[in-house]
């Protein structure tokens, strides 16, 4: 089966600019996650969707970050305006179930550099 | 709050020797524990999980992990290390609060297998 797709793979922007990331999860996966992975750290959950509803966005900096999952399939994550500390890898993952029992499948990530 | 700790930033082991990557957890209730591996410029890949049942869990690529409730540990092991096992390893725990769940990842342990 096809894996989780993400684009772009790399992005370099100036601070205060905006940027958007796209994720296409594995077909049929109900749950979609966006993580931020700063160099040297583990992934930190930004937002979690179940179908097209938000389950958890407690760690999403809502003054600058936004995300949506259209029709319960694809998702976009946007940053506006970007700050230097947003430089990180943004990982999208999906899983089949709604209870957190099944493993997550991760995309390759988008490496964001903010100058 | 639920948490996981990976006490070692890096583990070095000679090829052919057994390896152990340590993980301890703190949860209320029954823990759901996971191990993931990350190769350079790749997303995380699932290795194995403990939900319930046997304390020794077998996973992908010859890895296994032992759940120890009394020591609140879930160490990753492999009897004979390969150079290709060199990668970044993450332990994760499912955090379930208020009827929803999310995953909390450790900070990662870099495994270096020396030829």
SS (H, E, C) chain B: CCEEECCCCEEEEECCCCEEECCEEECCCCCCEEEEEECCCCCEEEEEEECCCCCEEECHHHCEEEEECCCCEEEEEECCCCHHHCEEEEEEEEEEECCEEEEEECCCEEEEEEC
Check whether B69 has a pLDDT greater than 70: yes
pLDDT at A100: 76
Instruction: Choose among B46, B94, B108: nearest Cβ to A100.
Output: B94
pLDDT at B56 over 90: yes
**Can you read off the two tokens belonging to residue B64?**
């296994």
Is the pLDDT assigned to residue B99 strictly greater than 80? no
What is the average pLDDT across B46-50? 95
- Evaluate if residue B97 carries a pLDDT over 80: no
Q: How confident is the model at residue A1 (pLDDT cuts 50, 70, 90)?
A: low
Of residues B98, B94, B75, B92, the one with CA closest to residue B30: B94
pLDDT in tens, A16-64: 999 999 999 999 999 999 999 998 889 999 999 998 899 899 999 999 9
Residue with more model confidence, B52 or B106: B106
* pLDDT band at residue B52 using 50, 70 and 90 as cut-offs: confident
Of B32, B102, B105, the CB nearest to A42: B105
Is residue B59 within 8 angstroms of chain A, CB to CB? no
User: What pLDDT is attached to residue A64?
Assistant: 97
Residues in A lying within 8 Å of B, measured between beta carbons: 4, 33, 40-45, 48, 55-56, 91, 93, 99-101, 103-109
Residue B106, pLDDT score: 95
How many other CB atoms are there within 10 angstroms of residue B70's CB atom? 5
- Distance from the A100 Cα atom to the nearest Cα atom in chain B, whole angstroms: 7
Residue B86 has pLDDT above 90, yes or no: yes
CB pairs under 8 A between A and B: 57
Residues of A in contact with B102 (CB under 8 A): 45, 48, 55-56, 100
Closest CA–CA distance from residue B101 to any residue of chain A (Å):
7
To the nearest whole number, what is the mean pLDDT of chain B? Answer: 92
Residue B99 with chain A: CB contacts under 8 Å: none
Rounded CA-CA distance B92/B33 in Å is 6
pLDDT surpasses 90 at B100: no
Per-residue pLDDT of A62-108, as tens digits, reads 999 999 998 889 999 999 999 999 999 999 999 997 777 889 999 99
pLDDT of residue B98: 65
Parallel, antiparallel, or unpaired: how do β-strands A110-114 and A53-56 relate? Answer: unpaired
Residue B102 has pLDDT above 90, yes or no: no
């Amino acid at each position: 089966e096809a894996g989780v797709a993400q684009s772009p793979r790399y992005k370099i922007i100036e601070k205060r600019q905006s940027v958007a990331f796209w994720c296409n999860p594995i077909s049929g996966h109900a749950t979609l996650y966006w993580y931020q992975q700063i160099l040297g750290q583990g992934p930190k959950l930004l937002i979690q969707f179940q179908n097209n509803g938000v389950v958890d966005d407690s760690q999403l900096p809502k003054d600058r970050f936004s995300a949506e999952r259209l029709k319960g399939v694809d998702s976009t994550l946007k940053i506006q305006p970007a700050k230097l500390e947003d430089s990180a890898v943004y990982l999208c993952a999906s899983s089949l179930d709604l209870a957190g029992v099944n493993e997550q499948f991760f995309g390759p990530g988008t490496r964001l550099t903010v100058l | 709050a639920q948490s996981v700790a990976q006490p070692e930033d890096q583990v070095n082991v000679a090829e052919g020797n057994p390896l152990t990557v340590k993980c301890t957890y703190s949860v209320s209730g029954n823990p759901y524990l996971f191990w993931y591996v990350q190769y350079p410029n790749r997303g995380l890949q699932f290795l194995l999980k403990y939900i319930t049942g046997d304390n020794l869990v077998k996973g992908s690529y010859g890895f296994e992990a032992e759940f120890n409730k009394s020591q609140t540990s879930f160490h990753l092991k492999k009897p004979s290390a390969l150079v290709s096992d060199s990668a970044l390893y993450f332990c994760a725990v499912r955090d379930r609060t208020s009827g929803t769940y999310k995953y909390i990842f450790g900070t990662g342990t870099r495994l270096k297998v020396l030829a």
